[in-house]
Amino acid sequence: MSGMSGVGASRDRAEAEWSALSGTAISMRWWDAGLTATAVVSAVLATTSSTGRTTASFVGIGLLLLAWFGLARPVVRRNDGLLSVPAVSAAAALVVVGGVAVAATPELAVVQAFLMPLLWTLLPAPRSAIVANVALCLAISVGFVVSIGWSTEAVSTAATSEGLSLVFSIALGLWITTIARVGAERGRLLDELREAQAELAVRHRDAGTSAERERLAREIHDTIAQSLTGVVMLAQQTRGTLAAGDVATTLDRLDVIETAAREALTEARTLVAATASSGPAGTDVSAALQRLGERFGRESGIVVTVDAGEVELPRDLQVVVVRCAQEALANVRKHSASPTARVTLTAAGRTAVLVVADDGAGFDPATPSTGFGLDGLRERLGLSGGRLEIASGDDGTVVTARVPLAGAAAA
């Protein structure tokens, strides 16, 4: 019993799959055009037929039109892919009409060219469509024999003609069904691929965020935390000298503490500048870069020249550009020993180009970096669809960041 239930469930799933495939929307005007062509050809054949049954032939054509507009066309338009009473009624009516039309005039067997594919569309599963096509061929064979009279030759001709028509109809129907099933499967796989790509993009953004957090943790540990550790140790030592009454040594230690504290403050400000947007909130990127250059010059003593044109950027891309400039200037202060730096922002086609240049000691860009700044820049630009270019030599370093204006940055 359970085996029968499993078979029934498998059959139901197969029919449901076919129902989904046969539910593809078909333009009604093509069906109307097909019926019109069939009716015109049938009318011409009925008029020129040697049987003299013109009236009966036109009655058959009229019945075909009534069956289409009254029963079949509403079911095709509904396109729900279900084996319903209207669909079965329409298929049965078309089978009867095909037999009646051929019984009136043998030449009207041409109507099966329209009826066979229509039955494949009306019925929701290949099995039911094949049964309907077999019934149609039997009805047309009977009509053919009725029209020309009972004889062995008539039966043989009808059987041969309709047998070939049935084979062709089933072969063509199954072929189209296979194509439709493959197309549906490919569509499903494409949807799954798009979902996987979207999930991968989300994970990529999460990985970028995680990498940024790890970079910040290492930066804090290697700079601010170490500086504050030194301040604590100096304060403990100063407490001892103060308790011993050594005023001169205490004053010297206080000077060292102040210097260390200022260095820690500078590191903290640099870190904040590298991680928090300096202003593209409510302002344009040009003004943000100008303020960044002024503040960096006050803190570092490096003369910064900013030339930022009017470049239209979304807020996300503004953040990317400002953060790239912050990191590049921080590297100028840390490594180049250059007295000057230049920041320029231009638009080249559909790309925003940020250039930060200095006149200090260069380095070999091919040498693996021990820090995390340049890697963080590349990751951030990669998330926004951009790229980082570095050129360095004895006459200085040029850092170029290119960001597509149409991209969506992940700040």
Domains observed in the chain: 2-150 (no CATH), 282-411 (3.30.565.10)
DSSP, collapsed to helix, strand or coil, labels residue 12 as helix
Report whether 339 contacts 303 (CB < 8 A): yes
- Phi/psi at 341 (5° precision): -150, 150
Distances (CA, A) of 320 to 178, 201, 210, 316: 50, 18, 17, 7
HSE (side-chain half, CA atoms, 13 Å) at 140: 29
What token pair was written down for 358? 């200095």
Query: What one-letter code names the amino acid at 65?
Result: L
Closest CA to 279 of 262, 271, 291, 293: 291
CA distance 239 to 132: 103
Name the β-bridge partners of 307. Answer: 344
| pLDDT of res. 327 | 82
CA distance 17 to 12: 9
CA distance 35 to 128: 22
Measured in residues, the chain has a length of 411
Report whether 76 contacts 121 (CB < 8 A): yes
Tell whether pTM > 0.75: no
| β-bridge pairing 303-308 and 340-348 | parallel
Written as tens digits, the pLDDT of the chain (411 aa) is 444 444 444 555 544 444 444 444 446 788 888 888 888 888 888 788 767 677 888 888 888 888 888 888 887 755 555 677 888 888 888 888 888 888 878 888 888 888 888 887 777 778 888 888 888 888 888 877 777 777 777 677 777 777 787 787 788 777 877 787 787 788 888 888 888 888 888 888 887 777 777 767 766 765 676 667 778 877 888 888 888 888 888 888 788 788 778 877 877 776 776 565 444 444 478 888 898 888 778 767 889 999 988 888 887 788 788 878 888 888 888 788 888 999 999 988 888 999 999 988 877 777 766 655 677 778 778 878 888 898 888 888 999 999 988 644 433
| Longest CA–CA separation in the chain, Å | 137
Query: What one-letter code names the amino acid at 355?
Result: V
DSSP 179-214: HHHHHHHHHHHHHHHHHHHHHHHHHHHHHHHHHHHH
